[in-house]
Chain A
Amino acid sequence: RKEVEQDPGPFNVPEGATVAFNCTYSNSASQSFFWYRQDCRKEPKLLMSVYSSGNEDGRFTAQLNRASQYISLLIRDSKLSDSATYLCVVNTGRRALTFGSGTRLQVQP
């Protein structure tokens, strides 16, 4: 079983749509959680950290459920510029990050 599993995607949505990505992790000792965004042929960039209480940054909302070992990302009012691959990332305490395989989002006009 992979340490971090994500929806396979791709997600094709119209502009303005709300889209949700899910992620599960296997290591219950995982300490911190993130969503990264990766554009084609570019390095990953931190989108937001994920906290147990849930957190929001503009149109983006992240949730963490430690009991279920589940992380989610909600994007409201999708923009064309949101098209990218979204990576669920977990820090298991080894200091290196463990990446999910990513979910590709394509927002269409």
Chain B
Amino acid sequence: GAVVSQHPSWVICKSGTSVKIECRSLDFQATTMFWYRQFPKQSLMLMATSNEGSKATYEQGVEKDKFLINHASLTLSTLTVTSAHPEDSSFYICSARDLGIADTQYFGPGTRLTVL
């Protein structure tokens, strides 16, 4: 099946720093990628939809200036958590939609962010 990678798999940072997370589709092109966040014992919550070549679409309550998304190519989307705070500590997961299979989304392995 299609593979989506994320980097890094985990990161620990100090409060106030910025963290960049990469999401790559390895064997297919994805014009659309999605960024989710999952807090402990909760479900995945969609943060934003990343569109190649255009601005991301953010869900209600997600600050676009805090969570910067760039989708510069058909295989790469990045999420930058700016000025991270402890409450941003979470499991961030991206998914990519395979153009060849309309309703199939493949998830990356996730990035566990801990902000001290």
Contact = CB atoms under 8 A, between A and B. Distances in A.
B75 interface: no
Contact of A96 (B43, B49, B107, B108): B49
Contact of B44 (A44, A49, A94): A44
Interface in A20-65: 31-32, 41-46, 49
Contact of A43 (B45, B49, B93, B104): B93
B interface, over-half SS: strand
Contact of A41 (B45, B91, B97, B108): B91
A63 to B, nearest CB: 18
Interface residues of B, number: 21
A99 interface: yes
A100 B109 CA distance: 19
Interface of B: 32, 34, 36, 42-46, 49, 91, 93, 95, 97, 103-105, 107-110, 112
